[in-house]
Amino acid sequence: MIVVLALAAGLWGFGALFGASRQARLGMIFGLWAGVIGLHLGLPEGHPLRMATGQDARIWLILGGLAALGGLYFAGIGRLKRRFAAVVPVPTVAVFRPAELDRYARHIMLREIGGPGQGKLKAARVLVIGAGGLGSPALLYLAAAGVGTIGVIDDDVVEGSNLQRQIIHADQRIGMAKVQSAAVAMTALNPFITVRPYQRRLTEDIAPALIGDYDLVLDGSDNFDTRYLVNRVCVALGKPLISGAITQWEGQLSLFDPAHGSPCYECIFPVRPAPGMVPTCAEAGVAAPLPGVIGAMMAMEAVKHITGAGETLRGRLMIHDALFMETRVIGVKRRFDCAVCGVSH
């Protein structure tokens, strides 16, 4: 029996040495096994060849059966692995250049972000609605944080009155489209990101395709029509929405994500205010740093949501009063009769 096993090992080794395929080597060993079975069946009991090769054919039949079962098992495992690999894509590992590692070192040092979290930021695609007061700080901090692809949509141009609070723009770019001005500032801050400027108003006909191309939406728009539109589309597509708002000295912020159990924007604000009830910044004024405070918090929520760090404002509404420097966070719940995300929809 030892002689046969040695022959099998020799066939496998010589086959590998001369470049024979795995299938060819297995075929040679199968031929050896079949030959031994043939000897045992053809030669009389007690023959020297039978004595030298295990005496009984049943031993080799059992070994052959066990080898066949083992081969079927490993073949099945390999097939499952191939099918699983075809269904579940292997996540792409972010590759950072040395300059990027130096740039994001303070992030990578944070236990809650680290290298994996920075990789998630690089792979993320974030759309910002509006390049004005809230969009300005949010866009700058998303760019600085290393969010890989940032889209920004706005149909307005830079005006002198914007520069009191819209810090992404500059006096030299008055008259330029806000999205182009924002792109200039963002790429100057971080050349390792991709900026996609959309110089147009967000409308019903383009919103689904545009929002569907991103992982996360930040809404810094200044009108309720856009806010309700963005919310409806985000709910329909299952996209998380970070929405901020400001007026005079006060701001508010939340993360709306009904796909994961939190309310949507319309759950909290089911009825839009009557015209004139909530004045715009142009009508009522706004303290210059307030958009920076709320916009930076929007970017912070985005970084936390993308990396999984800490606790986001999902299911909570933050209200900030800058005049008296008071901030409170209240719990908010999903309304089952909500016209957008309720159980009947």
Domain boundaries, the chain: 2-87, 124-331
Please, are residues 291 and 137 in contact by the beta-carbon 8 Å criterion?
yes
Q: Which residues contact 338 (CB under 8 A, 6 or more apart)?
A: 263, 264, 266, 267, 270, 345
What pLDDT does residue 15 have?
59
Going residue by residue through the chain, which has 345 residues, state the pLDDT in tens, using 9 for 90 and above.
566 666 666 655 665 666 666 666 666 766 766 766 666 666 677 666 666 666 666 666 677 677 777 777 777 676 666 565 544 444 555 789 999 999 999 999 999 999 999 999 999 999 999 999 999 999 999 999 999 999 999 999 999 999 999 999 999 999 999 999 999 999 999 999 999 999 999 999 999 999 999 999 999 998 999 999 999 999 999 999 999 999 999 999 999 999 998 999 999 999 887 776 666 777 678 999 999 999 999 999 999 999 999 999 999 999 999 999 999 999 999 998 999 988 655
- Who's near 154: CB < 8 A, 6+ residues apart? 129, 130, 131, 132, 135, 177, 178, 179, 182, 198, 199
Q: Give the pLDDT confidence of 15-35 residue by residue, as tens digits.
A: 566 666 666 666 676 676 676
Contact yes or no for 263/225 (Cβ under 8 A): no
Q: What confidence score (pLDDT) does residue 312 get? A: 95
Q: State residue 266's pLDDT score.
A: 94
> Cβ neighbours of residue 208 under 8 Å, at least 6 residues apart?
233, 236, 237
Reading the block at residue 47, the tokens are 């023959």
Q: Where are the beta strands (DSSP E) in the chain?
A: 125-129, 149-153, 194-198, 216-219, 241-247, 250-256, 316-321, 326-331
- Residue 93, both tokens: 């590992």
Q: Is 335 exposed, middle or buried (0-12, 13-18, 19+ CB in 10 A)?
A: middle
For 188, the token pair is 């100057």
CA neighbours closer than 13 Å in the CB half-sphere of residue 108 = 12
CATH placement of domain 124-331: 3.40.50.720
Contacts of 343 (CB under 8 A, 6+ apart): 336, 337
Residue type for position 45: E
β-strand 194-198 against 326-331: which pairing, if any? unpaired
Q: CA triplet 128, 130, 132: central angle to 5 degrees?
A: 125
The number of C-alpha atoms within 13 Å of 61 and in the hemisphere containing its C-beta is 9
Q: For tokens 């083992």, what's the residue?
A: 70
pLDDT score, position 86: 47
Residue 135, helix vs strand vs coil: helix
Residue 281 designated active-site: yes
Which 8-state DSSP code applies to residue 136? Answer: H
Average pLDDT over the chain, rounded to an integer: 86
For residue 312, give the 3-state DSSP assignment: coil
pLDDT at 88: 45
Which one of the listed residues 264, 267, 281, 341 is annotated catalytic? 281
pLDDT for 222 equals 86
For tokens 């520069």, the residue is 163
- What is the pLDDT, as a whole number, of residue 83? 60
Per-residue confidence (pLDDT) for residue 178, from 0 to 100: 98
Q: Residue 84 belongs to what H/E stretch?
A: helix 57-87
pLDDT at residue 181 in the model: 98
Q: Report the C-alpha gap between 187 and 195 in whole angstroms.
A: 7
